[in-house]
Amino acid sequence: MKAFLQCVFVLFLSGFLCGNIYFWVDESGTKHYTNVTPPEGKTVEELLESRKAFAKLASGENTQQKFKILKIFDGDSLQVMALDLVFSIRLVGIDAPEIGSEDLKGQPFSLEAKAYLEHLLNNREAGVKSYGADGYHRQLAEVFADGKNINIEMIKQGLAEVYKGDPPKTLDLSLYLKEEETARNSWKGIWKLGKSYKSPKQWRRENPRK
C-alpha cells in the first residue's frame, strides 16, 4: 500500500475531459484535487471520486455549480476553483488583445481588457459551461456571472473580437458576431484603432514569445 501511495497516476480523459487529474492529502489530512500540476514533492494518486467530481464540474450541461475566481491572467483566460478542483479557463469564442511580457510589448487595449474582466468577475462566483479543452489543457468555456455571459460582455465592450479559429461544433457564434458588429460600428475599445487594428491572432504571429 505504501508503495502504491508513492506512485503518480496520470489520467487522460476522453472527449472534453482532456488533461491530468491529481489527488493528494496535505499535512492536515485535507484532500485536494486539481487538473494543474500539484505542489512539488507531494505524493499524488488518482481516485475514482476525482474522475466523478471533474466530470460533474466540467460538464457543459451543468452551469449551476459555482466556481470561485482565483486569478485573471488577461482578457480571455483565468483560473477558477470548486470543491478543491482548480481549472484553467480559456473563454471560448473570443480573442482578447495580447498582454506583453518582460521582453515583449503588449497589444493596445490588452490591459484594459484584463481590467474589465477583473471588474466583471473579481470577488464573484461564476457558472462555467465547458466546450472541451484546448492544446494547453485549459477548459474552453463560457463563463456566467450576475446573469450575464461574460464572453459576450467582453465582445460588447470592444475588448475582444470573435475568435478567428475553428470554434467547437456545439458553440453558436451568431450572437457573438452580432455583438462584435455592434461594437465595431460604435468604435468601442479595440475598434477605435481603425485601420491600424491587428487581431490577436495576427499579433501573435508577428510577435512570437521567446
Looking at this protein, which amino acid is placed at residue 115? Answer: A
Residue with cell 470577488: 123
Euclidean distance between CA atoms 12 and 17, whole angstroms: 8
Range of the domain at 131: 57-204
Whether the CA torsion 59, 75, 138, 92 is positive or negative: it is: positive
Query: Among the options 46, 49, 138, 209, which is catalytic?
Result: 138
pLDDT along the chain (210 residues), means of 10: 32 36 63 61 54 58 78 95 81 95 87 98 90 80 93 98 92 97 98 96 86
Q: Which of 61, 98, 161, 209 is catalytic?
A: 98
User: How many domains does the chain fold into?
Assistant: 1
Q: Return the pLDDT at 46.
A: 47
One of 45, 49, 90, 205 is an active-site residue; which one?
A: 90
138 is known as an active-site residue = yes
Report pTM.
0.75
- Give me the CATH number covering residue 179: 2.40.50.90
Q: What is the pLDDT of residue 100?
A: 84
Rounded to an integer, what distance in angstroms lies between the CA atom of residue 136 and that of residue 134? Answer: 5
Separation between Cα atoms, residue 195 and residue 193, nearest integer Å: 6
- Residue in the block written with cell 473570443: 94
Give a yes or no: residue 111 inside a domain.
Answer: yes
Q: What is the pLDDT of residue 3?
A: 36
What was the pLDDT predicted at 182?
98
